[in-house]
């Protein structure tokens, strides 16, 4: 019994310290991202690459046919495979924010974006996205 109590107390101390994790087995759509603002999520959609509107950098817009989410990339030179994602179904992970009424994830690390389904074992946390 003492072992169970100690294990429960230890779990209570350890679990809150863990970073929020995106569920890599079940990415959400850009439409679902609207209800997950402030959370670390992996979002999947059809990607279109373009210059960022009104700011330096590029944007990877994910579309699910109903809504769009922007993946803002302030330093595109640090994303060597970025052009290969244009026109593909893409997963990107980060904290969802609102920018001019649209959901957005700012991407600072190239491993936070990949072709959908190409890394089924990938587990990314928002601690990684900073």
Query: Which of 81, 75, 69, 71 has the alpha carbon at shortest distance from 56?
Result: 75
**Domains in the chain, please, with CATH?**
19-115 (2.40.50.140)
Which ranges constitute the DSSP H helices of the chain?
A: 2-14, 30-33
Structure token pair of residue 10: 């230890």
Would the CA dihedral through 62, 24, 124, 18 be positive or negative? positive
- Written as tens digits, the pLDDT of the chain (130 aa) is 444 344 443 444 333 333 344 444 589 999 999 999 999 999 999 999 999 988 999 999 999 999 999 999 999 999 999 999 999 999 999 999 999 899 999 999 998 999 998 877 766 666 655 5
- Residue 13: the pLDDT is 38
């Amino acid at each position: 019994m003492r072992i169970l109590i100690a294990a429960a107390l230890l779990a209570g101390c350890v679990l809150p310290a863990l970073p929020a994790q995106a569920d890599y087995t079940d990415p959400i759509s850009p439409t679902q991202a609207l209800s997950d603002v402030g959370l670390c999520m992996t979002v999947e959609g059809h990607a279109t690459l373009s210059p960022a509107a009104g700011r330096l950098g590029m944007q990877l817009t994910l579309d699910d046919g109903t809504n769009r989410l922007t993946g803002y990339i302030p330093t595109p030179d640090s994303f060597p495979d970025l052009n290969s994602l244009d026109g593909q179904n893409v997963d990107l992970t980060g904290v969802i924010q609102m920018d001019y009424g649209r959901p957005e994830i700012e991407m600072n690390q190239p491993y936070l974006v990949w072709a959908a389904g190409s890394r089924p074992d990938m587990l990314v946390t928002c601690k990684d996205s900073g």
